[in-house]
Chains A and B, each alone.
Chain A
């Protein structure tokens, strides 16, 4: 069993829809949770970053962490075609030192105009 599980999709939704992306994990030591966005043939770029449990909002994006269920989510409101990309969740068990991230498989998302 992988430490981090993410549905690879693909996921296709119409423009304006609310998108929900999810990851589950098994390591209770994870403290930092991240969502990266990766456009085709590009490197991943950090989208959201949260510590421990709770919600964090940034514009149309909301990240949720439920440590009791070992479950994290990324919500995209009013989705746009420019949101079409692969979304990777990533987690880290330490605060300082080399951040050895563990990534999910990535979910490929397409927003249709």
Chain B
């Protein structure tokens, strides 16, 4: 089972460039999430989705946009990259069982903005 797959694994951008990070899950999960991880900051939620066609803002949404056109895919876009967006980005998904709402994470995308 692939679980949660993120592409690309690494990317270097110049300030002002745009890019899209792709997250795909094969577990039929309803919920999907995008986080960023920075040294000393832990994981911070950027955006999340509770189902196909729905998205919502997390803790640090500025500078990012997302789309969930298909249940299995969750895209994170940077329209005009800034050095402050240099980070490791993680996608996660979960199935909304009341007893165990566990999030499963991808391997991450390392992004550097020069």
Residues of A bordering B, CB below 8 Å: 4, 6, 8, 32, 34, 36, 41-46, 49, 88, 90, 92, 95-101, 103-106
Contacts and interface: CB of A to CB of B under 8 A. Distances in A.
Given A44-B105, A106-B42, A49 B100 contact: yes
A95 B103 contact: no
B98 A95 contact: yes
7 closest cross-chain pairs (CB), A and B: A43-B105, A103-B42, A99-B101, A103-B43, A105-B42, A44-B105, A43-B107
Interface of B: 4, 31, 33, 40-45, 48, 50, 56, 58, 90, 92, 94, 96, 98, 100-108
Given A96-B101, A99-B31, A103-B44, 20 more contacts: A4-B42, A41-B107, A42-B107, A42-B108, A43-B92, A43-B107, A45-B105, A46-B102, A46-B104, A49-B102, A90-B43, A92-B101, A95-B101, A98-B96, A99-B94, A101-B103, A103-B42, A103-B43, A105-B40, A105-B42
Contacts of B105: 36, 43-45
6 contacts: A41-B107, A41-B108, A43-B4, A92-B101, A98-B50, A99-B31
B109 to A, nearest CB: 10
Nearest to A106: B42
Nearest to A90: B43
Given A42-B108, A44-B90, A45-B105, A97 B40 contact: no
Nearest to A95: B98
A100 B48 contact: yes
Contacts of A44: 43, 90, 105
A104 B37 CA distance: 11
A96 B108 CA distance: 26
B106 A43 contact: yes
A101 B102 contact: no
A37 to B, nearest CB: 11
Contact of A99 (B43, B44, B56, B103): B103
